[in-house]
Structure formats: structure tokens, C-alpha cells
Amino acid sequence: MRRVIFVGGTDTGVGKTVVATGIVRALRDRGETVLPVKPVETGCDDLDRPDDALALHRAAGGGDLGAICPVRYRTPAAPWSAARREGVKHTFDGLRAHIDALDAPWVVVEGAGGLLVPLDATHSFADLARAVGATLVLVSRNALGTINHTRLSLEAARARGLPVAAVVANGSPGPGGVSHVDELRDLGLGVPVLGPLPVWSEVHLGTVAEAVEAMGLVDVLAAG
């Protein structure tokens, strides 16, 4: 059975790449075959070296970088905006076909920005995740404001019929040592709330994979 996991976020910079690479490496450590994909990466200083896609490439132990990240833009903006500014056009159907063609028992897709970031005038990353039959892992901040952002993102996913496997809170406690993970759990969101993942000054794939395993995320995905 082919399983597609979509790692989406409540916002930009919430740690999607950390979680996605951790999932990929943890699955590989279990002996699973997994292909990662970052369908669109924006804000690339060097189009030949897209940072997030390279992290996924390392987590997967190599592979075709073009298959991991088929669309790249220099502009640090939503894919729809970046494409318009750079005069390049990707298509929703093309991105969906690219993901559908990835032949592996596990496919891990990383979005860009928040869940409703537009890919074109009518489609968001949430729509792409739904179209490829993915299950969502929603990455949120372990910070003030996360309750609103997380609940809005979950509502958006469910309104589109996008199944949600778990919420992963990312980041160390804020000022005063306040962690918001328990608050998210107490809300009864209807899905496991895992974490928090710590913030590392330097991310090592083995360490991230161990953290993802320790929180039980891979077990949740395998059971789904």
C-alpha cells in the first residue's frame, strides 16, 4: 500500500523541513523505502541548491534532486506570487501528476509556508495534499498564538476532506519557560498533539529522526 504524508504548517518557518526530514530518516531507519518531495521551493538564492530540498535529499540518502524539487523560484514569496513575478508558470495538475508518479511505499511531501498558501489563483497546498490522497502532519509553533493558528489550519484541512494524522508542536518553550503543547492537547483537537521538538543550533539527521521516533509520530503514521 502506498502512503502519502503531507507535512504542512500553520505558518512559514515553523519547522516543516525539520519534521519532514525526521520522518524520512526515521522511516529509512525502520527499513522502509521512502521518497521525499518538495514540489515547489521559493526563496532559492541558488536555483541549483534549494535548501529545503537538499535537506530532504540528505535524509533520503541521495536520489534525483530534480524529482525531489521540480519547481524552484528565487522570489521569497508564495509559489503563485513567485511564478507571476518571474514569468514562469507551474500548474496544479503538473504538481499533482509529479507526486502521483513517485513510486514508493512511502512518499513524504513538504509544503511551503502555511497550509493555505496559494499554488495558483484557485488552489492551495491543502488542495494539493487532498488531490494526491495525502494524510496531513500539521506543524505548529510552540509559542503564543499557536492555538488560533492551529485551530484555523485544522478547520481548513477538515473543510477540504484532508485527513489529519497529528499536530507536531515545534520549538522550545518561550519566555518564562511557558510551553503551549499541553494547552493544545487540552483543547481536544481530535488528533494526537506531539512534541515539542527542540530547537537545535545545528540539525543532525540522526538526532532529528530519534526525536521524531521518541514522540511516537512514526508509530501514528504507520498505524494510519
Query: DSSP per residue over the chain, as a string?
Result: --EEEEEEESSTTSSHHHHHHHHHHHHHHTT--EEEE-SEE---SSTTS-HHHHHHHHHTTS--HHHH--EE-SSSS-HHHHHHHHT----HHHHHHHHHT--SSEEEEEEEEETT-BSSSS-BHHHHHHHTT-EEEEEEESSTTHHHHHHHHHHHHHHTT--EEEEEEES---GGG---HHHHHHT--SS-EEEEEPPPSS--HHHHHHHHHHTTHHHHHHH-
pLDDT of residue 91: 96
Catalytic annotation on 38?
A: yes
Catalytic residue among 16, 25, 38, 96: 38
Q: Look at residue 174 and tell me whether its pLDDT is greater than 80.
A: no
Residue 124 is part of which domain span? Answer: 3-223
In this prediction the pTM is 0.95
Q: Is the pLDDT of residue 138 over 90?
A: yes
Residues 6+ away with beta carbon under 8 Å from 171:
14, 15, 141, 142, 143, 196, 197, 198, 199
Please, which pLDDT band fits residue 4 given cuts at 50, 70 and 90? Answer: very high
CATH number for the domain spanning 33: value is 3.40.50.300
Q: How many domains does the chain have?
A: 1
Report pLDDT digits (tens) over 198-208: 766 556 778 88
Q: Is a pLDDT exceeding 90 seen at residue 139?
A: yes
Q: In the predicted model, is pLDDT for residue 43 greater than 90? A: yes
Lowest mean pLDDT segment, chosen from 72-86, 100-114, 168-182: 168-182
For residue 160, what pLDDT band results from cuts at 50, 70 and 90?
A: very high
